């Protein structure tokens, strides 16, 4: 017990020390309370700064991604230049199968070599002379059969036309005044009816012509056909007469979408002359058609070649694939003056359009499921009849 007796005496100083330590801790905690809010604010500010830095970093990263590779809807705005043909450019860093289509894509060397092989094969196995006469003597017959089989469900409505040709938006405005549109090769009305659907001009008159009786019948039976605004007629643009109900110098805008290619080269001069006659001075032509090297040309097999760049499809309809310079010579009249041997490239030709725009639309379409690449080539143009005609 003697060993335990000093413990009560020693407990007093220990208890005092604990109380002093507790008091010091309390005083420390009390002293720290005023600055604790400031520390929390500093921490919050640091977190906010980090978040802002991350946001800035993300913005910079997004800005570094080219618009054509971005999925941001802001990069899908309408083009201000109709002849820009899109802005999704294919670069070496891109995955070609990321999107369904790429703009301004020239064919690669492998495709060019394959195309030349195809052209050689096509020339070596042309259409027989008998079939040439059969298909060229009555082309309307084959288009009648086409529309008999396909009616109005083969082509999609061309709702993109007012984007490609702003004049179509201008003439359909409410305050545009009396305007006349002539669509040549109107088919089942896949151009005419979308134009009428957006039309606000009560004084607009749209003439839709095709040399297929069946196509005109399809248009007249369409639920949107309104004789007060639209007139559908059979007319051959390469014939001797002007369209029914139209006189010379009476049309503001002529539309030719994938129709000129259906004509034989022998019909080009008369067709362009008729378009020139029917247009008002200052009137314009909205033009789009196939370009040479398009996939549709390259994949033709034996027995479809009529002459250079001119073919017969499996359904009996004809199609030509143009060069840009070739079209320019056709519509200015230079081609026909040269054929006549005239020194003056415009002498002896009853027309000469001004070429306001003419461009080639190279596009790569992609089948992502099958990993297939399809090179398409179209030519788009805007031709104007001079406001002041040169009478010779």
Listing DSSP states for 132-192 in one string gives HHHHHH-HHHHHHHHHHHHTTSSSPP-TTHHHH-THHHHTTSTT--SEEEEEES-TTTTTH
Domains and CATH numbers, the chain: 109-341+349-385 (3.40.50.150)
**pLDDT at residue 29, as a whole number:** 41
Structure tokens at 145: 């059969």
For residue 208, is pLDDT > 90? yes
How many percent of the chain have pLDDT more than 90?
54
pLDDT value of position 174? 95
Q: What pLDDT score was predicted for residue 151?
A: 65
Looking at residue 156, its pLDDT comes to 65
- The total of other beta-carbon atoms located within 10 Å of residue 167's CB is 18
Question: Could you tell me the pLDDT band of residue 316, with boundaries at 50, 70 and 90?
Answer: very high
- Using CA atoms in the order 298, 299, 304, 309, what is the torsion angle rounded to 10 degrees? -10
Comparing 31-35, 150-154, 347-351, which segment has the lowest mean pLDDT? 31-35
Q: Which of 8-22, 45-59, 125-139 is predicted least confidently? A: 8-22
Contact (CB, 8 A) for 358 and 329: no
Q: Which two tokens stand for residue 305?
A: 């070649």
Higher per-residue confidence, 348 vs 21: 348
pLDDT for res 263: 96
Mean pLDDT of 164-184: 95
pLDDT tens readout for residues 239-248: 999 999 999 9
In angstroms, the CA 390 to CA 392 distance is 6
Q: Which of 33-47, 85-99, 264-278 has the highest mean pLDDT?
A: 264-278
Compare 105 and 35 and report the one with higher pLDDT. Answer: 105
pLDDT band, very low/low/confident/very high, at 62 (cuts 50, 70, 90): very low
pLDDT of residue 104: 73
Query: pTM (2 decimals)?
Result: 0.75
Q: Which residues are within 8 A (CB) of 218 and not within 5 positions of it... i.e. 6 or more apart?
A: 147, 151, 152, 188, 189
The residue that leads in pLDDT, 325 or 156, is 325
Mean pLDDT of the chain: 81
Give the confidence band of 35 by pLDDT, cuts at 50, 70, 90: very low
Give the residue with greater pLDDT, 316 vs 69: 316
**14-27: average pLDDT:** 54
Q: Does 267 score more than 70 pLDDT?
A: yes
Question: What b/e string do you get for 205-220 counting C-beta neighbours within 10 Å, with b at 16 or more?
Answer: bbbbbbbbebbbbbbe
Q: What's the average model confidence in pLDDT over 170-197?
A: 94
Most confident of 64-68, 101-105, 149-153, 267-271: 267-271
Query: Mean pLDDT throughout 119-145?
Result: 93
């Amino acid at each position: 017990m003697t060993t335990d007796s000093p413990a009560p005496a020693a407990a007093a100083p220990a208890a005092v020390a604990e109380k002093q330590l507790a008091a010091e801790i309390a005083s420390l905690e009390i002293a720290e309370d005023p600055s604790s809010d400031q520390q929390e604010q500093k921490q919050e500010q640091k977190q906010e700064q980090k978040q802002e830095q991350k946001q800035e970093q993300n913005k910079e990263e997004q800005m570094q991604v080219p618009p054509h590779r971005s999925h941001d809807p802001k990069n899908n705005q309408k083009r201000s230049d109709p002849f820009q043909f899109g802005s999704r450019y294919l670069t070496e860093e891109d995955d070609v199968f990321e999107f369904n289509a790429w703009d301004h894509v020239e064919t690669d060397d492998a495709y060019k070599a394959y195309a030349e092989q195809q052209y050689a094969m096509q020339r070596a196995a042309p259409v027989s002379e008998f079939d040439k006469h059969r298909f060229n003597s009555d082309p309307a017959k084959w288009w009648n059969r086409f529309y008999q089989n396909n009616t109005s469900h083969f082509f999609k409505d061309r709702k993109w036309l007012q984007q490609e040709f702003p004049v179509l938006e201008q003439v359909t405005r409410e305050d545009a005044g009396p305007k006349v549109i002539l669509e040549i090769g109107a088919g089942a009305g896949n151009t005419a009816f979308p134009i009428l659907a957006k039309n606000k001009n009560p004084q607009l008159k749209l003439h839709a012509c095709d040399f297929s009786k069946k196509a005109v019948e399809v248009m007249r039976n369409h639920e949107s056909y309104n004789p007060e605004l639209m007139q559908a007629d059979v007319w051959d643009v390469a014939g001797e007469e002007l369209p029914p109900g139209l006189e010379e110098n009476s049309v503001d805008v002529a539309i030719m979408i994938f129709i000129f290619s259906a004509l034989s080269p022998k019909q080009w001069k008369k067709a362009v002359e008729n378009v020139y006659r029917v247009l008002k001075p200052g009137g314009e032509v909205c033009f789009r058609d196939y370009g040479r090297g398009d996939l549709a040309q390259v994949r033709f097999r034996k027995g479809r070649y009529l002459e250079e760049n001119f073919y017969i499809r499996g359904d009996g309809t004809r199609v030509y694939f143009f060069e840009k310079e070739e079209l320019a010579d056709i519509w200015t009249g230079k081609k026909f003056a040269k054929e006549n041997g005239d020194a003056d490239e415009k002498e002896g030709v009853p027309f000469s359009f001004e070429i306001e725009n003419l461009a080639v639309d190279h596009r790569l379409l992609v089948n992502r499921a099958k990993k297939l690449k399809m090179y398409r080539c179209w030519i788009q143009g805007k031709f104007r009849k001079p406001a002041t005609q040169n009478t010779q």
